[in-house]
Structure 1
Amino acid sequence: MSVKITNNSICEALVELKLLQDILANTPTKYFGHLLSKIVGTDTIPFFLITKKGTPLVFNNLDECFETSFLRIESTSLEKCCTTISLLRPLDIEGKLTNSFCDVFRLEKTSNCKVVDLSCICAIQLLDTELLTRKIIIEPKW
């Protein structure tokens, strides 16, 4: 689902996304504990941000030498209309880093965070949480 909205609405949408992500991670029920996060299999709702030029916002992680557009929400400031995100490492089916959207099989959380001014963002694209739970299984040919 892609959401195309105004800058203020982008901030509000990211606040809502953070709320949903927190529900996944932190909301126990009386009888089933943290069943929701167990069912989904992750505490992250992956997404990417689309710039006013119509392209995904790309980040370079110089510490770990990878490039990514795949993100996790950490916090959002409505007053400043900015957000703190963490980078998700994109891996192909063999578990190798990839820069190609078509080759992404799995995403891994990292601790690398960035602050984004949302004035240059025009849309948010949510992604399937399955991207964080897929197992990379390489079987021998013989």
Structure 2
Amino acid sequence: MGCGKKDDVLGVSRDNCVCEVVRAIKDIQDAAEDVCECPTNCFQEPLGSLVNPTKRNRVDTRVFTLKTADGSPFHAFFRDDKCACVSIFFRVEEVFDNCCATLRVIKPVKHDGEAVDLTKGGKIDLGAVCEVDRFERTDDCVTVDLSCFCAIQCIADVDLDICED
């Protein structure tokens, strides 16, 4: 099944492959963690209950990137102490309504601890991706329709101290 196609060669309707991969990543993460919720999830109730999760020590995240129909990396903003930044790296928090997902934006970090600036001239600078040495969690999430993406690439399994013990 290729990008944008709803049927396979036999004319049988299939789910979007990116949806299936993100669901599988969520299942893998769930098997390795206790109770986890994105602190900025728009569906968090009651109003005012957005809090930071407690830290723990073990791998809890599969970092991945998504590509749009034109092949460019999907990006989202995250807040940093020093600036509003852009990332192409994500962690799945929830999959719902068949092919929608809440994704946590993951901060790309250099060896010196500074965030990697992935932009140049208002566009994603793929050369800057080579500067990424590790990842850190953010409290920023984005809700997406996974059927809008044509590719997903898993980058690393890391501990971002996302979950409670």
For normalisation by structure 1, the TM-score amounts to 0.71
CA contact (8 A) 1:45 1:129 kept: yes
3-state SS of the aligned residue for 1:86? strand
CA contact (8 A) 2:76 2:88 kept: yes
CA contact (8 A) 2:100 2:145 kept: yes
- Counterpart AA for 1:87: V
Q: Structure 2 residue aligned with 1:10, among 11, 18, 37?
A: 18
What's 2:63 paired with? 46
Alignment of structure 1 residues 84-123 onto 2, 5 Å: 84-98=102-116, 99=118, 100-123=128-151
What's 1:56 paired with? 73
Q: Indicate the percent of aligned positions where both proteins have the same amino acid.
A: 32
Query: Cα RMSD (Å) of the superposition?
Result: 2.4
The structure in which a higher percent of residues are helix is 1
3-state SS of the aligned residue for 2:71? coil
3-state SS of the aligned residue for 1:127? strand
CA contact (8 A) 2:76 2:86 kept: yes
3-state SS of the aligned residue for 1:129? strand
- Return the offset for 1:114: 0.5
Question: What is the distance in 1 between the residues matched to 2:89 and 2:30?
Answer: 18
The question of 1:126 aligning with 2:134 is answered no
Question: What is the distance in 2 between the residues matched to 1:85 and 1:127?
Answer: 15
Gaps of 5+ in 2: 6-14, 35-55, 119-127
CA contact (8 A) 1:49 1:57 kept: yes
For normalisation by structure 2, the TM-score amounts to 0.62
Count of residues paired in the alignment: 116
What's 1:24 paired with? 32
- Return the offset for 1:19: 0.3
Q: In the superposition, relative to structure 1, how do residues 132 and 74 fare at CA in structure 2: closer, same or farther (>3 Å)? A: closer
CA contact (8 A) 2:103 2:141 kept: yes
Question: What is the distance in 1 between the residues matched to 2:93 and 2:159?
Answer: 18
What's 2:52 paired with? none
Gaps of 5+ in 1: 27-36, 134-142
CA contact (8 A) 2:59 2:159 kept: no
